[in-house]
Structure 1
Amino acid sequence: MSTWGKIFTAIRGGINEAAEAAADSQSMRILDQEIRDAEQSLRRARSDLAGIMASNKSVMRRLEENRAKETKDTDSARAAISAGRTDLAQGLAQRIANSRAEVQRDQEELDRLLPRQQQMLRTIQETESRIAQMKREVENVKANESLLRAQSAIAHNQSGINTRLGSAVESLERIKKRQEITAGRIEAGAELAALENGSDLDRQLREAGIGSSSQSADDVLAQLMAPTRSTEPVLLPAPAGNKDR
């Protein structure tokens, strides 16, 4: 295939894909229209069938009437022959022949129309069944389409929520880190200020227990609860041998 042929083939393929995409986007509308067209054709077929059935009934009534007339004329002709009225029998014979011709013609017409009536009836019943099935399938497709749109919307929203939550978590982590850095800078500044005014050295001496004269409440309470020592001199008893001196 030449280069131009490949290009034209690609163009035709693109056109077909675009047409299929357009048809898919309108698939529900197309299905509904096809069902409406089928129902309209079905109504016309029912009307035609009703006409055929009415015609067949008319032919059947005419057949019954002609057969009844033939039977009556036959009985009358026999009676006329018995009575010696050949002229009357001749006229009745002609009328019987006409009735038989009409019966044959109507029977042939009925034999032609009855199979057509049965065929149309079967076709209409099959069409009704197919339309009903198509309607059910369309309803299922519509329900599935609505469900898929809802699921797609939920998935899209969930994706957006996850993205926003991810961004919020990242922002929160950045805020925490910035706060930690700021707190560290403040603490470092306080330490530098303590070194400059000597308070840090006093703190270190207190922590080492050097030069600290302050007492806690527990220390004072311990001192108050200790036994009191007397400051007066203690007198010792005199020795027994020096009692009279």
Structure 2
Amino acid sequence: MAVFSKILTMLRGDVHSIGQSIVDNNANRIYEQEIVEAKAHVATARQDLTAVMAKEMQAAREIERLQRDIERYEALALEALQKNQAALAGDVAGKVADIEAALAAQTRVRDELAGHIARLKDLIRGAEAVLRDHERELAMAKTTESVYRATATISSSMGSGGAKLMSAKESLERIKQRHQDTADRMQAADALENEFGDQALERKLAVAGIGAGPDRKAGVLARLQQRAALAAGASGDKPA
């Protein structure tokens, strides 16, 4: 049971690590989405504000209407009194009192709406200021991330370029080695030819005095002179 509990704890830790890694890798996107959602809330608050302001305008118009009604009925009550219509004047006075009560209630509603409007405006102005700050921070974060990404790309390119240069150098060294191997083989072939080929045999014959050469020419000349001397003796050329 304890082992099973430890396994569950380990799995929860892995899930948390994976989740944290996802959050870290997508921090800018998440931050931007949060700003978008906050802007949507501010836009909704502005719509609510316009609705409250519209109600305040309606309340103000109703107050103006009630004030006109009060003035009208007060004028009628005065006229009734002037015509000795005390009972009628009393009825009109009651009407004026009802209108004044409605006016007082409508005034309270307007004042409350005005208070709500003032608070909403302050909240919206504050929220918009904070959003502007966050948008600047997001822009800076994106710029910084772009710089880091460009730096990593350049570093990777430089590393790849360095590796390619090393590979090119190795290729050149292999070419040089192949050329050197070819030259060595040619030199070895010449050495073998000198040792075992026809040229080697000719050199051996020359060393032994066999075959054509300067000594051979002298031998041929001496032999011809001897033959000439023998021919002269055979022809009778004797001394006196």
Shorter-chain TM-score category? Answer: 0.5 to 0.7
2:57 alignment partner in structure 1: 57
Partners in 2 of 1:30 and 1:52 — Cα distance? 33
Partners in 1 of 2:47 and 2:177 — Cα distance? 83
Point out the more displaced range, 34-43 or 106-115.
Answer: 34-43
Query: CA shift at 1:170, angstroms?
Result: 3.0
Query: CA shift at 1:30, angstroms?
Result: 2.9
In terms of fraction of residues, the more helix-rich structure is: 2
Map of 1:140-219 to 2, 5 A cutoff? 140-176=140-176, 179-180=179-180, 183=183, 193=194, 197=203
Unpaired runs of 5+ in structure 2?
Answer: 205-240
Map of 1:219-230 to 2, 5 A cutoff? none
Partners in 2 of 1:4 and 1:62 — Cα distance? 72
Secondary structure in structure 2 of the residue aligned to 1:153: helix
1:11 maps to a residue whose letter is L
Over the aligned positions, Cα root-mean-square deviation in angstroms equals 3.2
Point out the more displaced range, 12-21 or 22-31.
Answer: 22-31
CA deviation vs aligned residue, 1:193-240 (integer Å, no higher than 9, x gap): 49x659xxxxxxxxxxxxxxxxxxxxxxxxxxxxxxxxxxxxxxxxxx
2:136 alignment partner in structure 1: 136
Query: CA shift at 1:62, angstroms?
Result: 1.2
Query: CA shift at 1:45, angstroms?
Result: 1.8
1:87 alignment partner in structure 2: 87
1:150 maps to a residue whose letter is A
Point out the more displaced range, 122-131 or 94-103.
Answer: 122-131
Partners in 2 of 1:37 and 1:177 — Cα distance? 67
2:148 maps to a residue whose letter is L
Query: CA shift at 1:55, angstroms?
Result: 0.8
2:122 alignment partner in structure 1: 122
Partners in 2 of 1:103 and 1:58 — Cα distance? 13
The yes-or-no answer on 1:20 pairing with 2:13 is no
Partners in 2 of 1:170 and 1:6 — Cα distance? 54
The alignment covers a number of residue pairs equal to: 198
Partners in 2 of 1:169 and 1:81 — Cα distance? 120
Percent identity, aligned pairs only, is 28
Secondary structure in structure 2 of the residue aligned to 1:93: helix
Query: CA shift at 1:47, angstroms?
Result: 1.9
Query: CA shift at 1:41, angstroms?
Result: 2.3
CA deviation vs aligned residue, 1:14-48 (integer Å, no higher than 9, x gap): 21111122233344443343333223322322222
Unpaired runs of 5+ in structure 1?
Answer: 199-245
Secondary structure in structure 2 of the residue aligned to 1:113: helix
CA deviation vs aligned residue, 1:38-71 (integer Å, no higher than 9, x gap): 2332232222211111111111111122123223
Partners in 1 of 2:119 and 2:142 — Cα distance? 34
Query: CA shift at 1:165, angstroms?
Result: 0.8
Query: CA shift at 1:101, angstroms?
Result: 0.6
Partners in 2 of 1:3 and 1:118 — Cα distance? 61
Query: CA shift at 1:95, angstroms?
Result: 1.4
2:52 maps to a residue whose letter is I
2:63 maps to a residue whose letter is L
Point out the more displaced range, 134-143 or 177-186.
Answer: 177-186
2:105 alignment partner in structure 1: 105
Query: CA shift at 1:160, angstroms?
Result: 1.2
1:210 alignment partner in structure 2: none
TM-score relative to the length of structure 1 = 0.65
